Amino acid sequence: MSQLTVLIVEPFEAVRAMITNVLNEMGNIKIIQSSNSNDALEKLAYNDVGLIIGEWQLSGLTGIEFLTQVRTTPRTAKIPFLMMSSTIEQAHVVRAIQCGVSEFIVKPFSSKQLKARIQRALNRPVRAFQGDSAQLASVAQEEQIQLLIVDDVADNIKVISDILRRDYKVRAALNGKKALQICAGDPQPDIILLDIMMPEMDGLEVCRRLKADPNTQHITVIFLTALEQTEHVIKGLSLGAVDYITKPANPAIVKSRVQAHCRGIESHRLMRAQIDTMLENARLRDEFDNLNQNELTKPVSVIQHACELLSSHVQQSEKARHYLEEIQHNCAQLQLHLDSVTALAKIERNDYQLNPQSHNLLFVVDGVLAALANTLKQQQLSVHTSIAADLEYRGELTLTHTLLSHLIKNALEASRTRPSINVNASQSDEHVVITIHNSDPVPTHLTEQFFEKFVSFGKPGRLGMGTYIAKLLVEAQHGTIAFRTDDNLGTEVFVHLPLG
């Protein structure tokens, strides 16, 4: 086994030493250490690194900016990246995934936990960068804790601002009236460092008004006070302030007090995000269950009706044969749907065992169109095909039938200009290329999300899973899927599957 080079990017020497000990226990590993992202980037330029273990909070570039730089640089894009953090904010994890993190571990952690995460980071495919760096910077700016310093002495504001501006978004106000205006605007401050003794409107009155207003009462108030103002501090705390800092400001105390209250703010943010996610997941699960139930109810209803008609016409061979064929067809569709749901669940868990065989593509497409025959007739839709009778692909019949069903249904539902689509196929090198074309373009705001889960437009009652499922099923068969769209061309979806 060749030697693995690991780059540790962590500001605290004790943590670097702990990680180094764990890596040394794992065997043939060369270790490079950096305390900040700028030094780490320099070392990446001169070393062939096989794994990066980096902290979220770094000086210079932040951990997420460092990860973005790694993923968007061709030389380092494929290096596994294990991110460490002292907090487990859902938004942080989502951003890290968008930027291509391999694994995420929360401090403090044991050597056993770290070893397990390292193994997973090394064994799993490296994620590509999926976010826009400018967009992520904007998101980071929005999520950063917002501080407002209120003091009638500009020098006091400068001293405290210099202590905090590196870690927080800092604004200032020289009087209580201006402070209230800022708090009423957007973005609102998360924390106010509020001087008690100010002319015209003192800090106590500002605090009273903030806590009396439902739109501002959630803002955390920390008083700035002189040592002898104990009576005012007690009154301020009774009005709803959470803490106080005495002047002149001690940098270490200011940082620690603010940081302590920031943890509470971030915990509330995380809790709100988790509640929102739970509610959204519950809603989506209900919708998915309802739609899934409809997919099962329809063929069962047809089978029941055909059985009743069959029993009434059992002596009439032509009619009996027709009803029997309808029952057989819908039973096959029902089984196909159940098989595809089972396969999709396994694919999403990365637990699907592919069993590819050669299949006739025209046979599969004809089967899809036969299943859609009633819908096509009722809605006066048409599908034109151009597929060679002997063209074969290598994959699984159930997966291909399901993915083509979703793509053809999507194309038909999106066809408003002309109620028809074209399905063509050809051979290209070692692949079969299937093209599904409809005359309408994809809305601009959906082009970046075309293959994502729960994305839909202008389709009431639809969950927006079609292209997402199709992409999973194509890739499970070692194929690829892409699309192009414009106002003149309409939309074309291209599916590449291995040649049979």
Q: Which residues pair with 431 in a beta bridge?
A: 428, 498
pLDDT at residue 55 in the model: 94
- The ranges assigned to domains in the chain are 4-140, 144-249, 271-347, 354-498
pLDDT at residue 289 in the model: 65
Q: How far apart are CA 197 and CA 156, in angstroms?
A: 13
Contact between 172 and 150 under an 8 Å Cβ cutoff? The reply is yes
pLDDT at residue 424 in the model: 94
Query: For residue 463, what are the CA distances in angstroms to 285, 456, 466?
Result: 10, 7, 8
- Write the CATH number of the domain with boundaries 271-347: 1.10.287.130
pLDDT at residue 392 in the model: 94
Q: Which two tokens stand for residue 49?
A: 């690194």
Query: For residue 125, what are the CA distances in angstroms to 4, 322, 350?
Result: 17, 51, 12
End-to-end CA distance of the chain: 37
**Is CATH 3.30.565.10 the right assignment for the domain spanning 354-498?**
yes
Looking at the structure, give the CATH architecture of the domain made up of residues 4-140: 3-Layer(aba) Sandwich (3.40)
Q: How far apart are CA 62 and CA 283, in angstroms?
A: 35
pLDDT at residue 86 in the model: 80
CA–chain centroid gap for 323, Å, is: 47
pLDDT at residue 459 in the model: 46
- Write the CATH number of the domain with boundaries 144-249: 3.40.50.2300
Query: Phi/psi at 81 (nearest 5 deg)?
Result: -130, 115
Residue type, 207: C
Q: Which residues pair with 318 in a beta bridge?
A: none
Contacts 24+ apart (CB under 8 A), 328-333: 329/370, 329/371, 330/299, 330/300, 330/302, 330/303, 330/306, 331/299, 331/303, 333/299, 333/371
Mean pLDDT by 10 residues, the chain (500 residues): 88 92 92 93 92 91 91 92 79 78 86 89 82 46 78 92 90 94 91 92 93 89 85 89 90 90 77 62 61 69 80 81 79 72 75 89 91 80 91 92 88 82 89 92 77 55 67 90 89 92
pLDDT at residue 20 in the model: 94
pLDDT at residue 288 in the model: 60
Angle at CA of residue 271, ends 266 and 272, nearest 5°: 100
pLDDT at residue 463 in the model: 46
Q: In what order do the strands lie in the sheet with 146-150?
A: 169-173, 146-150, 191-195, 220-226, 243-247
Q: How far apart are CA 85 and CA 369, in angstroms?
A: 52
Q: Does this chain's domain 271-347 share its CATH topology with 354-498?
A: no
